[in-house]
Amino acid sequence: MRGVIFDIKEFAQHDGDGVRTTVFFKGCPLRCIWCHNPEGLSPEPELYVGTNGCTGCGLCRKPCDHPDCVYGRCLHICPQGLLRVSGKEYEARTLAEKVKKSADFLSENGGVTLSGGEPLMQWEFALELIRELKSLHIAIETSGYADADVFRKVISECDLVMMDLKLADREEHKKYTGVYNDKILANLEILKSSGKDFLLRTPLIPGITDTDENLAAIARLADGAPVELLPYNNLAPAKYPSVGREYTKLIVESESRIKSADGLPGNFSFR
């Protein structure tokens, strides 16, 4: 089976235990206004035009009929190398073989993490990949937004589940991520009773997720399970024009007021 991947990061240090290879699945059903991977939102391969170093020479605007240049822009002409396609199709086995070139290192030092985007959006491909990689420690980073049977099937084959818990309030969740959190909260209960090693993660978005009310509600939902607080990545807005998207300017402060887990419940930690 084929899937679309937009990045493969080796030597990742924040995507689970140890040093890992992280595979980024393309496509996400959420639209978090703070998303720092806008190139992971669309499920399809798309044009990515880097902005850092663009001289405005205009060469890439010239018509091009090269077979690679399917987006109406020449992918090869930029003197700065700023044009590329974000998203590549792989057969699960081919991707697994690529990842397994570092298998000795990964099995001693960490493992493989499925991330995104949302890996559960391509769950059948994810399952096939996990099975191809089963000799390695497999972690998944997920929003938890999937049908319960899909969630159950995939987590049952993972060694570690890192699931986001962004906003406890249903309407706030819809307002800031584009979807209600009903499926996520149902899957949280499945995760808590699964016996799996898991970690909940809350991005600290200034004035949105880092409020006292939200963190208290997250603590209640976690019910003693570990919660990792993630600092907001304020470099995210710069990537949006690269895939022709606009960043929603709803974030009023540039940094969260939360700088540590001091004063928060004992199951909370700070990355």
Encoded tokens for 18: 């140890």
In angstroms, what is the minimal distance from the CB of 61 to ligand SF4? 7
How many CA atoms are closer than 13 Å to the CA of 256, on its beta-carbon side? Answer: 21
CA dihedral 260, 199, 42, 251 (to 10 degrees): -20
The contact pattern for ligand SF4, residues 129-158, with x = CB under 6 A and - = no contact, is: --------------x---------------
Task: Give the span between the Cα atoms of 78 and 62, in whole angstroms.
Answer: 11
Encoded tokens for 223: 């019910």
Tell me the backbone φ, ψ of residue 172, rounded to 5 degrees: -65, -40
The contact pattern for ligand SF4, residues 68-87, with x = CB under 6 A and - = no contact, is: ---------xx-x-xx----
- Among 56, 63, 67, 72, the residue binding ligand SF4 under the rule CB under 6 A is 56
In angstroms, what is the minimal distance from the CB of 163 to ligand SF4? 11
Task: Give the span between the Cα atoms of 16 and 174, in whole angstroms.
Answer: 28
Q: Which is nearer to ligand SF4, 28 or 92 (CB)?
A: 28
The contact pattern for ligand SF4, residues 114-133, with x = CB under 6 A and - = no contact, is: --xxx---------------
Amino acid, res. 166? K
Q: Does 22 bind ligand SF4 (CB under 6 A)?
A: no
Judge contact between 179 and 154, C-beta under 8 A.
Answer: no
Q: Which stretch binds ligand SF4 (CB under 6 A): 28-36, 129-137, 151-159, 223-231?
A: 28-36
Judge contact between 135 and 20, C-beta under 8 A.
Answer: no
- Chain residues in the site for ligand SF4 (CB under 6 A): 28, 30-32, 35, 37, 40, 49, 54-60, 77-78, 80, 82-83, 116-118, 143
